Amino acid sequence: GTYLKLSAEKASRKIISERDFARVFLDARFANSLAPKLTLLSSIFIGNAIDDVPFHYQFMLGGQNMPFTFLGERNSFLGFRPQEFQNNNVEFLQMGFQYEIFPKQYLIVRGNVGNTFDKFSIKLSPNSFFYGGGATLGWDSRFGPIEFTASASERHSLITHLNVGFYF
């Protein structure tokens, strides 16, 4: 399956806002079946905000099932604490595999790279980004997913996360 979201926002003092700023971002996620029980997962998130951007409208990276934008969709930057990175610009890439161990039980292994920046740039220098990854063991119960994730990065040797039930 494919999920694509392109969003552009503009706030102006001329129209009830306390600040002038603009933000645009692309959130793209893909799930491609490679075999009956194996799926390739990939996602990319790129965003740019300019002018007098309020703190809560900056982009945030870090944590399991955390939004990258204020009131945004949930995403994961494994190996880091929730919203550990925050700034006006973001670049993020994640790749992984999901394997169905038994019906309604699965293993997800993912690796990610990304960072937030003060100024937008497409310079892909390896030392400008942070790397992390992790594994999730999950079960689709009648009360929602139950997932245990263990992740690590160059900053943190081990971060664990337990999710029980649906988000609402």
- Residue spans of beta strands (DSSP E) within 54-129: 59-61, 63-67, 74-77, 85-87, 89-102, 105-117
The answer to whether 165 and 142 have CB atoms below 8 angstroms apart is: no
Per-residue pLDDT band at 92 (split at 50, 70, 90): very high
Q: What is the pTM of this model?
A: 0.90
What is the predicted pLDDT for the residue at 124? 72
What is the predicted pLDDT for the residue at 125? 77
Domains (range + CATH), the chain: 2-133 (2.40.160.50)
What confidence tens digit (pLDDT) does each residue in 132-165 have? 999 999 999 999 999 999 999 999 999 999 999 9
Rounded to the nearest angstrom, the gap between the alpha carbon of residue 59 and the centroid of all alpha carbons in its chain is 10
Q: What percent of the chain has pLDDT over 70?
A: 99
pLDDT surpassing 80 at residue 25 = yes
Q: CA 140 to CA 164: how far, in whole Å?
A: 10
Q: CA 101 to CA 107: how far, in whole Å?
A: 7
